[in-house]
Structure 1
Amino acid sequence: MKSRIVLPLVVMGTLGAIALAGCKPKAKAEAEPPAAVAPASATAASAAAAPVVAPAEVKPFDVTSVPMSTAALPPFPFFELPAGAEGYHQDAKDFDRAWVIAGEELRAVEGRTSERWFPVSAANMSMLSAFRNYEATIKSLGGVRVDKVHPLDPAFIARNGGDKEALLKKLAIPNGHVTAPDETPSFSQYLVRTPKGNIWIALFFFDDDLNMSIEVVQEQAMEQKVALLKADEMAAALAKDGHIALYLNFDNDSDILRADSKPAIDEIVKMLSADGSLKVRVEGHTDNIGTSARNIALSRARAESVVKAISTLQISKDRLKPEGFGSGRPLADNTSEEGRAKNRRVELVKI
């Protein structure tokens, strides 16, 4: 069995103060005549006529610009937490979508994910020592830093919808906060290219407590674990048990149905078309990650999305009743990812 890499402790010395010399303005060779001042009305008209400039597009990041790593990788998620930090936030999923910064581009990637963070004080480390420990270990695996823009950069935010809080949420930055760009270190994104797929690693610090986060995504295809139920099988289950659990795929923390859920929606439509008297309650259920209020709202929104998808295929909404129960009716223990995955479901209940 391969062992995990244990981070070495970096011994920090006293940092000397660095004086920043101000730049002197370059003297002009001779005085210039004052520029002509346009009338106020002309200036206002010119400003009103100025076209709105769209956010500049950036060149897509070339993954092949990063050399292929030849290092032997330890088991996922590749890094140990330092002593004292083990009891803090840890979350992992066998398959999910995550967002990374590649060059100046925001990029969606899918695969196995790990999200961990801890207060650096709990590990008796400074921000700088924690950052340098992880960066050194990432580089030892062949990782290359690939971010060319900070998440708080106004141009980056404008290019990606203009909503700072939504953007930081995509990047899995807790509470929507990340330390400012002038604080070193703040945010860094790395890529490890391997013959078996890309590995993306983000390091960042957030909130006043100086929490460090380590986000890892190992790109890979989803392993299909749920077989598609046919319309007649659904009908038989409803007739026998009165309800049936379906595992439809939504965007992360969203009510948007993914395209791979369409075959299941089509089978539901076939079942309802075959029995015009059948009415069902469409129930949304979540795991226990997040607040109760948020989970209830999300589960209700997902149930409504399923109803909308069905009703657009000529099934009357009068036969469908959406409800959201959040995490209140779990099918399995929420302490494991396997259990949480079983609890994230949509149920059809005969009414």
Structure 2
Amino acid sequence: MPGYKAQPPKVVEFGSYTEGDLFYCQPGKRCTSGDPGFNDEGKLVAEGKVTVQRYSTEKPAGTLAVFRNYENAIREMGGRRLTYTSTHDTTNVFLIDRQGAKVWIVLSNAYDSGYQLTYIEAKPLQQVVKAGQLADAIHKQGFATLYINFDNNKSDVKPEAKPAMEEVVALLKADSVLRLSIEGHTDNVGNAVTNKTLSQARAQSVVKALVASGIDAKRLQAKGFGSEVPVADNRSEEGRAKNRRVELVKLK
């Protein structure tokens, strides 16, 4: 906006929107997990590279001018407004989705001296893991933890999980007598029964991928626990992210 000065941005290479806002995607109806980037509580939980950019001024143009400026600019870029509010001087969420590359834009527009933009560029956290590290963890504690990203409510192993899966294959090929229980876990967002079914399907998908890479199916089993065995506090997004995991548990 003319007359506004950009403050130094704050960038987190992998994170999520951490404000406490509850958003409405329709009049009187909170956003749900059916809306891109949200959970059933109405919170934005999109994950990826997060950039927070604050703009300040001594001569505010007005919250309506700021809102219309970004609404029009985002629309021209092929984006859309996701949230519904009765006033423009509040927080709204927009989404630009180009060929599967998603960027959420959160416009916090309730400041007298400026406004704030938060960009979340969707990308999964890539766990750097080696077969030797997995072997050490299994030897010391009987299990190793993997963070494999799945699409929301989906169980297919995504292509970006290939490096981690290759290390699990290397682990099993290096120790020909090792047998593993592949155990899926979720956070507590959503229905408990559905989550347990989903975690079982994800564990089975991992087993299927390992078998396709040459591992004997007799050395593997799949179990889904849903949200029954958390390792962190589900009240925070950071805790929920830790709970969404796959564990490789040594079978006797």
TM-score, normalised with respect to structure 2: 0.62
Q: In structure 2, what is the Cα distance between the partners aligned to 1:237 and 1:220?
A: 32
1:296–1:326 Cα contact (<8 Å) kept? yes
Q: Can you give the 5+ residue segments of structure 2 that lack an aligned partner in the other structure?
A: 11-16, 32-40, 51-62, 84-91, 97-101, 108-116
Q: In structure 2, what is the Cα distance between the partners aligned to 1:221 and 1:81?
A: 20
Q: How far did residue 230 of structure 1 move?
A: 1.2
Residues 246-267 of structure 1, C-alpha deviations (whole Å, 9 max, x = no match): 1011112211222221111001
Q: In structure 2, what is the Cα distance between the partners aligned to 1:79 and 1:239?
A: 41
Aligned-residue CA RMSD in angstroms? Answer: 4.4
**What letter matches 1:273 in structure 2?**
K
Structure possessing the higher radius of gyration over alpha carbons: 1
Q: In structure 1, what is the Cα distance between the partners aligned to 2:159 and 2:146?
A: 15
Q: In structure 1, what is the Cα distance between the partners aligned to 2:118 and 2:220?
A: 38
Question: Is 1:220 aligned to residue 220 of structure 2?
Answer: no
1:146–1:191 Cα contact (<8 Å) kept? no
* Regions of 4+ moved over 3 Å: 69-82, 87-90, 134-137, 188-192, 197-202, 221-226
2:137–2:144 Cα contact (<8 Å) kept? yes
Match among 239, 242, 250 for residue 342 of structure 1: 242
CA gap 1:73/1:240 in 2 versus in 1, 3 angstroms:
same
Q: What secondary structure does 1:276 align onto?
A: coil
Q: Can you give the 5+ residue segments of structure 1 that lack an aligned partner in the other structure?
A: 1-68, 97-110, 113-133, 148-170, 174-187, 203-215
Question: Is 1:139 aligned to residue 68 of structure 2?
Answer: yes
Segment drifting more, 252-261 vs 70-79: 70-79
1:247–1:345 Cα contact (<8 Å) kept? yes
2:93–2:104 Cα contact (<8 Å) kept? no
Q: Which has the higher strand share?
A: 2
Which residue pairs with 1:262 in the alignment? 162
Q: In structure 1, what is the Cα distance between the partners aligned to 2:225 and 2:22?
A: 35
User: 5 Å matches for 1:199-210?
Assistant: 199-200=104-105
Q: In structure 2, what is the Cα distance between the partners aligned to 1:342 and 1:244?
A: 13
Which residue pairs with 1:301 in the alignment? 201
TM-score, normalised with respect to structure 1: 0.46
1:257–1:305 Cα contact (<8 Å) kept? yes
Which residue pairs with 1:91 in the alignment? 43
| Relative contact order, higher structure (CA 8 A, sep 6+) | 2
Residues 319-349 of structure 1, C-alpha deviations (whole Å, 9 max, x = no match): 1100000000000000000000000000000
